[in-house]
Amino acid sequence: MQPGFSGPERCAVIKTFLLYVLTALAEIAGCYLPWLWLKQGGSAWLLLPAAASLAVFAWLLTLHPAAAGRVYAAYGGVYVGVALAWLWLVDGVRPTAWDVAGVLTCLLGMGLIAFAPRA
């Protein structure tokens, strides 16, 4: 047997990772909008899409088939990467090499938690 993922397994890994990315985007948007309201003088109307985004975030977490604790642990690694992408794309602050090294470390841990073979 060859090491690595077969075609269907690879597809499942990609789907799972993309679901984590969508989950992180929903959480970040849900927290960013109130931040805009509180720190940047934005409209209180921002709280409505923020609440909806956080509800979507919670719902997306339920779509993962793994145990909740494992989902939360693996999600944390993806969240770090998405948050630093947000830092760059939304806040206009380019991540440092140390930021990138940290993200790669988190994603390695996420991969071990989410995709390691289980008995």
Task: Dump pLDDT digits (tens) for 67-97.
Answer: 888 888 889 999 999 999 999 999 999 999 9
Answer yes or no: is 1 within a domain.
no
Identity of the residue numbered 73: A
* Cα–Cα distance measured from residue 84 to residue 115, given in angstroms and rounded to the nearest whole number: 23
- Please tell me the predicted confidence (pLDDT) of residue 63: 93
Kindly state the percentage of the chain with pLDDT values over 90. Answer: 69
CB atoms within 10 A of CB 41: 7
Answer yes or no: is 73 within a domain.
yes
Domain that holds residue 91: 7-115
Identity of the residue numbered 105: T
* Cα–Cα distance measured from residue 87 to residue 101, given in angstroms and rounded to the nearest whole number: 15
Per-residue pLDDT averaged across 38-47, rounded? 94
CA pseudo-torsion sign 55, 60, 66, 72 = negative
Answer yes or no: is 66 within a domain.
yes
Environment class of residue 67 by beta-carbon count within 10 Å: exposed (0-12), middle (13-18) or buried (19+)?
exposed
**Whether residue 108 has pLDDT greater than 70:** yes
Kindly state the percentage of the chain with pLDDT values over 70. Answer: 96
Q: What is the pTM of this model?
A: 0.84
Q: Structurally, how many domains does the chain consist of?
A: 1
Task: Tell me if 47 sits within 8 A of 37, measured CB to CB.
Answer: yes
- Please tell me the predicted confidence (pLDDT) of residue 13: 86
More reliable by pLDDT, 47 or 8? 47
